[in-house]
Amino acid sequence: MHPHKNFTLQVQLGLGVAGVLTLMSLTPSLTPRSVALEPSQIQQPTLNQLQQAEALNNQGVELANQGEYAAAIRLFNQAIAIYPHYEKAYSNLGIALGSQGQLTEAIAAFNEALKIDPNNWETYNNLGIAWGMQEEIPNAIAAFERAIQINPGEPISYRNLGIAYVKQRQLPRAIAILEQAQELYQDQNNASEVDQIEQVLARLRQAIKASE
């Protein structure tokens, strides 16, 4: 395993509230996952092909961590060409494309990853971020809600969903969801996130009061 860093994209979502929507980290490993296809439809890769695909994926991760996204994208695509059911490579490809602002392509990559593993909440979270950055807020909300259905104990999806509702000016709903995120972060003893959400909540409550 090689060390990896977390990647983030930042997007301004309404009311002067800066929403930092966090993309999952690029994971430099070939993680076995269930494939949503019949076994007869899948050409099983050889061990050598798996090793080649994993090596390309890992190289792509290291390049992406250095900001070399274009080169990383090429390597992720090469890994997928060798092993077309490599879910993690599709996910990493989506993250790298999103980091380059190629959001339509990122969405397509995340959707391919979800065809292979439809129960990966992190991919739904990333998909929601990409939709949000395209201002396709209803699609973003649907993706974040699906992430929450799969993993209701993970606060980042609530956080992102709340910010999406801010963008839609549904402030009471945004507040309720952000309060859920805050509670989950408190359970994780994540004081930084708790404080940041509290600042956002204060602004939202002030905006509601001013509009009354």
Residue 114: per-residue pLDDT: 98
Residue 142, domain member (yes or no):
yes
Q: Is residue 35 part of a domain?
A: no
Is 31 inside any structural domain?
A: no
Residue 97 forms part of a structural domain: yes
Classify residue 38: in a domain, yes or no. Answer: no
Whether 60 is covered by a domain: the verdict is yes
What is the value of pTM for the model shown? 0.81
pLDDT at res. 43: 60
CA nearest neighbour of 189 among 163, 159, 155, 157: 155
Start-to-end CA distance of the chain, whole Å, equals: 55
Please tell me the distance from the alpha carbon of residue 127 to that of residue 114, in angstroms, as a whole number.
10
pLDDT of residue 46: 84
Whole-angstrom Cα distance, residue 80 to residue 87?
9
Structural domain that includes position 176: 7-24+43-211
Per-residue pLDDT of the chain (212 residues; tens, 9 = 90+): 333 333 333 333 333 333 433 433 344 433 333 333 344 444 667 888 888 999 999 999 889 888 899 999 999 999 999 999 999 999 999 999 999 999 999 999 999 999 999 999 999 999 999 999 999 999 999 999 999 999 999 999 999 999 999 989 999 999 999 999 999 999 999 999 999 999 999 999 999 999 88
The pLDDT assigned to 48 comes to 86
- Per-residue model confidence (pLDDT) at position 49: 87
Helix 155-167 with 137-150: angle, nearest 10 deg: 160
Q: Is residue 171 part of a domain?
A: yes
CATH number of the domain within which 127 lies = 1.25.40.10
**Count of structural domains within the chain:** 1
